[in-house]
């Protein structure tokens, strides 16, 4: 037997080769948008009542949702929101 077999003859070596951990590719790094204040298209799930509240005043409801969320992250109370006193 001058030529070595292509498959390992040792069952332990074969098992280790079959179950060796697979290297997962690194997740791509999400770079921030080039221009600050640029809006990004996203899809979210919100309650129907919340959607109805923002849509009841007509067009511009997406801007109103964005403004309400911006006020929350800036620590300001939302317009029309109830404050517990």
Reported as a single tens digit per residue, the pLDDT across 21-35 is 777 777 777 776 667
pLDDT of residue 85: 41
**Ranges assigned E (strand) in 1-85:** none
Query: What angle, rounded to 10 degrees, do the helices at 48-55 and 61-73 form?
Result: 110
What is the gyration radius of the CA atoms in the chain, in angstroms? 28
pTM: 0.49
Q: Count the Cβ atoms, other than its own, within 10 Å of residue 53.
A: 16
For residues 46-54, average pLDDT: 96
For residue 49, report the phi and psi dihedrals to the nearest 5 degrees.
Answer: -65, -40
């Amino acid at each position: 037997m001058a030529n070595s077999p292509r498959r390992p003859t040792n069952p332990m070596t074969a098992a280790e080769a079959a179950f060796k951990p697979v290297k997962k590719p690194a997740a791509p790094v999400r770079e921030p948008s080039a221009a600050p204040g640029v809006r990004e298209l996203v899809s979210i799930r919100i309650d129907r009542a919340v959607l109805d509240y923002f849509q009841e005043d007509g067009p511009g409801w997406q801007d109103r949702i964005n403004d309400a969320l911006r006020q929350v992250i800036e620590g300001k109370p939302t317009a029309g929101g109830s404050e517990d006193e």
